[in-house]
Structure 1
Amino acid sequence: MLKTAQAFLIATIFLNLSCKEEFNPVETSRIEVHTPFEMPAIKIPNFKNCKQFNIIDFGAKQENKELTSIAIADAITEANAIGGGIVVIPEGEWITKTIHLKSNVNLHLNKDAVLLFSEAPEDYLPAVHSTWEGMECYNYSPLIYAYKCKNIAITGEGKLKAKMDIWKTWFPRPEPHMNSLKQLYNLASYNKPVEERQMVNDTAHFRPQFIQFNRSENILLEDVSIENSPFWTIHPYLSKDVVIRNLNVYARGHNNDGVDPEMSENVLIENCIFDQGDDAIAIKSGRNQDAWRLNTPSKNIVMRNCTMKNGHQLVAIGSELSGGIENVFVDNCNVVDGAKMYHLVFIKTNERRGGYVKNIFVENIKAGKIANGVLGIETDVLYQWRDLVPTIERKLTPISDVHLKNVSATETEYLSKIFGQAELPIENVFLKNVSVDNILKEKHIHENVINFMEN
C-alpha cells in the first residue's frame, strides 16, 4: 500500500512538471530606444514558447457572431488561466462582438484572417470604464478592450475591420449629442464619481474606440492591418511600455486618429502606415479637472520610420493635455505627396487645460504640400466647446522647448504660426534646417514668443 502511494506521488510530481514544461509562462523582452532625452528600455511580452488556442477548437463558426464571440472569450480565459497563451484566429472572416483581453494573452491573426466587428451598439454592452475626449466615463466598450492587464499582444498578418453601418450615422453631432457632452463636462468638472457618468443612452451616441489599452502595461501591437474605426483607432490610456509596429491603418471616418497615447509613458510607434480621417498621431493627457485628478503626464513617446498617406496633422499635441506632455521624439517620417494635411506639428491648448508641454523633438521629416504650415502652436483652440460650456476654472498651459530639425515641405501658407498669450508666452522654439519650397503667405506669424531661433 505504501509503495502504491509513493508511486502515485511520483507520478503526480512528474505530471505537474510536465504541465509546467508545456504551459510556459510569458517571457519579457526589452527594447532600447535612442532619443534626445533619457528614456528607459520598453518591456514587451514574448509569447514564443506559449501554447496556442485555435478558436475553432472552442466552437467558432464563420458567419456566426454568437458562437465566434463566445469562442474567442473562452480561449482568452483559458490562455489567461494557465499563465500565458496565444489565441489564434485562423484564415477566413470571423464576425464578432467586443473582445476583452486578459493578462498574458496574445490575440494572433493568421495571414488572411479577418476579425469583422459587428456594427450593432448593443454588442458593446455592458458599458465599461472608458473615456470620451479626455473625460472618464462609462461608455460602449471599445471593440478590443484591455483593462488593468499585463503582458498582452495583438499580432499577426491578418486584419481587424469594423463594420460601419451604424457608427457612421453617429458621426454628426446633433443637439441631443451636444447636450450629453455638456452633461459629461459638468460631471467631470465637479469631480463626480466616474461610476455616475453613465453615457450610454438613446441620444449621447458616444462612439467607442477601436482598440483601447486602459491602465495596462507591457503591450505589443504588431503586423496587423486595421480598417475603419468608430472613433479613435488605437488608444493607449494610462498605460506603460507600449510598442506599436509594422501596422497598416486605414480609417477615414470622423475623429479617426491613428494612435492617441493618453497619460501613457514609454511608447514606441514604428514602421507603420497611417491613412487617417484625423490626426496620424495625437498625443493627449486628459481634459481639465479629470486630468488634474489623475495627475499622470504622457511622456517618452517615440514615433519613427512611419508613412502618412492622409491625416489632419503628422503629430498633434493636445488639445486634451491637462496632465502634461513631455519627451516626444518624431524621427524619419514621410508624408506622401497628395496627402491632405494641415500641419506637420500642431500643439493646441486653451485657457481651461493647464498641464504643460516641453521637450518636443521632430527630425528628418519629408512632406509635399501642407495646407497650413510646418509648425503650428495655438493657445486658444476650443472648437465647438467655446460656446457650448463655460470656463469653470482657468489654467494656462506653459509650452517650451520645441525643436524641429531637417524638415522639408514643398508648399505651405506659412512655415510657422505661433500664438502664445501675453501673460504666458511660448518659450524656446528652435528650427534648424527647416525649409519650404513655396510659402504662399508670411514665413513666420508669431505673437508672444520668447527665444525663437532659426538657422
Structure 2
Amino acid sequence: MTGPWPRRRFLEVSGAVVGGGLLASALGGPALADPDPWRTADRIRRRVRAPRFPHHRFRVTDFGAKGDGTTDCTRAFDAAIKACARRGGGHVVVPPGRYLTGPIRLRSHVDLHVEEGATIAFSTDPAKYPPVYTRWQGIECYNYSPFIYAYEARNIAITGKGTLDGQASKTAWWPWSGSANYGWKPGDPQQGPDWTLLQQWADQGVPVADRVLGAGHYLRPNMIQPYRCVNVLVEGVTIVNSPMWEIHPVLSRTVLVRDVTVDSHGPNNDGCDPESCTDVVITGSTFDTGDDCIAIKAGRNADGRRVNVPSRNILVEDCELRDGHGGVTIGSEMTGGVSSVFARNLRMTSPNLNSCLRLKTNSMRGGYIHDVHMKDVEVGQLAVAAIQIDFYYDEGPGHPYNPSVSEIHVENLHVGTTKYVLDMRGYPDAPIKDVTLAHCRFDKATDTDIVENVQGLVFTDVTVNGSPVGAHA
C-alpha cells in the first residue's frame, strides 16, 4: 500500500557482543548527533497544534437524539455530522444525557463535542458495526468499525468534558479475548481462530480487500481510530470500558491527545497507540489501563513490511500513568520502524504497572527502534523493571528479520521500588546498542539485573539501592 508517507529500509545491527551480569556494559558510549535532542521535542510540540473549526454548532438532539440511555441515536449522530460537514465544518454538540449509539463516523472539519454531563454509550450489539478498512494488531483488514472512526479526513476532533463509554464488560466484547478472567467460558466464541486466519492471510499476501471479517467473527473493535487522517485532536474526554485499544491513530499526521482520562481495564486495553504516525503529542493525560498505557506501533510482520511506514516524532509529556503492562511502550508491532520518541515530565506508580519504559520485539517483527529519549520521570512502584528491552517477545528469535534497537537515553529517572533496574535481552547476532542512563536513582531494586547482548551501556551519576554505579558499570 502506498501513501504520502515515505518508505524506509530496515536497519540491521552487527558487531561484537557484550552481556551478562549486574548492570553490564561495553566500554565507551554513544555520541549524540544533537547535543540537545530535546530541541527536537520542542519543535514537535510547536508543530502539533489543535485544529480550528468554524463556529457552527449542531446539537444532536436537534436531529432526533435522546439522552435517555435507551433510544438508538445512531442516525441522529450521523445526520448531525453530515449536516455540519455540508456547512464547511463546526461543532457537533452532545448535551448532558446518556446517548446510546452504534459507530460514529467523523468527517473533515468536524469536532464532536461531548459536554460535561454527557455520555456516549456505544451499543454492545456487534451487528451495529459493519466492517471498515482498519488495522487489527498491526495487520490491515476489514473488521468491525471502531466506535469512533474517520478515514482520510482532515481537521477532526473529539472534545469536551463528557464520557465515551464502550460498555465492554465480562458479558460484552471482553469475553472474545478467550480469557476466563474476562468472562470467556469453554464453548464460547473467541478471537483465536480469526487472529490466526488474519495472520495467515497477511503471510500469504492475500489482498486487503479480501481480508473481510466482522459479522460472524470475533476480533474486537477499537474505541477511537482516525485512519490516514491529518490534524487530529482528542481532548478532555474520559474513556471507559473499551473493547480493546482506546485511542488508535493509524497512518496519520499531526495528532494531539490532550487532557484525556482513560480508565479501562479490559484485555488489550492500551491507552493510546499511535501506529505508523508522524508528529504526535500526548500531553496532560491520565492512563489507567488493562494493558500498555502508551504503545507506539508501526505494523506487524509481513503486513508491516508491505506497508512499511514508520512512527516518528512522538512526544509524551506531563502525563500520569497508573496500571498497565508498560508506561511508555514501543512495539511489539513495530515492523515499519520507530524513531524520534520523546517522553518527559511523567508520573507513574502502581503495583500493577510492570515497567516504566518497555521495548518489545522479535525476529519476526524486524524493523528498528532508534532515538528514544526519556527524562524527568518520577516512579513510585513498579512490578518488574524500570527499563525493559525484550527481543524474545512472542515469536522470539530464529526468524530472518532481526530487529535493530539503538540510541535509548534516559535521564533524571527516579524509581522507588522495582524488581529490576534493567531487563534487557538482545540477540548475539543483533545486540542492543547504545543505552545510556544519567542522573538516575533507584531506591530499592530487589533482584539482579538481566542484561544480555548489549553494546554501549553507559551510566553517569546513577545510584542503585543507595550505592553509586560507575560511569561504565
Shared fold (TM-score, shorter chain, > 0.5): yes
Structure number, greater radius of gyration: 1
Q: For residues 199-348 of structure 1, what are the structure 2 equivalents within 5 Å?
A: 199-202=213-216, 204-336=217-349, 338-348=350-360
CA root-mean-square deviation: 1.9
Partner of 2:80: 75
Are 2:299 and 2:308, in contact at CA under 8 Å, matched by a contact in 1?
A: no
| Aligned partner of residue 444 in structure 2, secondary structure | strand
Q: Match for 1:111 among 109, 113, 116? A: 116
Distance 1:319 1:438 in 2: 28
Counterpart code for 2:197: Q
Deviation at 1:63, TM superposition (A): 3.5
Q: For residues 393-404 of structure 1, what are the structure 2 equivalents within 5 Å?
A: 394-404=400-410
Counterpart code for 1:399: V
Tell me: CA distance 1:188–1:66, structure 2 relative to 1, closer, same or farther (3 Å).
farther
Partner of 1:187: 201
Write 1 or 2 for the structure with the bigger share of helix: 1
Deviation at 1:62, TM superposition (A): 2.8
Are 1:65 and 1:97, in contact at CA under 8 Å, matched by a contact in 2?
A: no
Partner of 1:152: 156
Distance 1:158 1:209 in 2: 19
Deviation at 1:277, TM superposition (A): 0.6
Post-superposition Cα deviations, 1:289-335, rounded to whole Å, max 9, x if no partner, equal 21111121000111100012211111111111000000000100001
| Aligned partner of residue 368 in structure 1, secondary structure | strand
Distance 1:344 1:166 in 2: 31
Post-superposition Cα deviations, 1:181-204, rounded to whole Å, max 9, x if no partner, equal 2211111112211111112243x4
Tell me: CA distance 1:176–1:187, structure 2 relative to 1, closer, same or farther (3 Å).
same
| Aligned partner of residue 182 in structure 1, secondary structure | helix
| Aligned partner of residue 359 in structure 1, secondary structure | strand
1:379 matched to 2:421? The reply is: no
| Aligned partner of residue 238 in structure 1, secondary structure | coil
1:129 matched to 2:137? The reply is: no
Distance 2:59 2:41 in 1: 43
1:172 matched to 2:178? The reply is: yes
Are 1:429 and 1:453, in contact at CA under 8 Å, matched by a contact in 2?
A: yes
Post-superposition Cα deviations, 1:68-115, rounded to whole Å, max 9, x if no partner, equal 211110010011112112100011111111101111100001111111
Distance 1:319 1:327 in 2: 17
| Aligned partner of residue 184 in structure 1, secondary structure | helix
Distance 1:299 1:236 in 2: 13
Query: Any gaps of 5 or more consecutive residues in structure 2?
Result: 1-37, 180-185, 461-473
Distance 2:378 2:66 in 1: 46
Q: Which runs of 4+ in 1 moved over 6 A?
A: none
Deviation at 1:168, TM superposition (A): 2.3
Post-superposition Cα deviations, 1:407-455, rounded to whole Å, max 9, x if no partner, equal 111111211121111111111000002221111111x321111111011
Question: TM-score when scaled to structure 2?
Answer: 0.84
| Aligned partner of residue 249 in structure 2, secondary structure | strand
Q: Match for 2:104 among 99, 105, 110? A: 99
Distance 1:129 1:36 in 2: 32
Are 1:268 and 1:303, in contact at CA under 8 Å, matched by a contact in 2?
A: yes
Counterpart code for 1:398: S
Q: Matched residue pairs, number?
A: 412
Question: TM-score when scaled to structure 1?
Answer: 0.87
Q: Match for 1:350 among 353, 359, 362? A: 362
Distance 2:383 2:133 in 1: 37
Deviation at 1:38, TM superposition (A): 6.0
Q: For residues 84-95 of structure 1, what are the structure 2 equivalents within 5 Å?
A: 84-95=89-100
Distance 2:341 2:380 in 1: 23
Partner of 1:9: none
Are 2:144 and 2:215, in contact at CA under 8 Å, matched by a contact in 1?
A: no
Q: Which has the higher contact order (CA 8 A, sep 6+)?
A: 2
Distance 1:357 1:37 in 2: 21
Partner of 2:412: 406
Post-superposition Cα deviations, 1:334-365, rounded to whole Å, max 9, x if no partner, equal 013x4411110111111111110000001111
Distance 1:234 1:307 in 2: 16
Tell me: CA distance 1:318–1:67, structure 2 relative to 1, closer, same or farther (3 Å).
closer
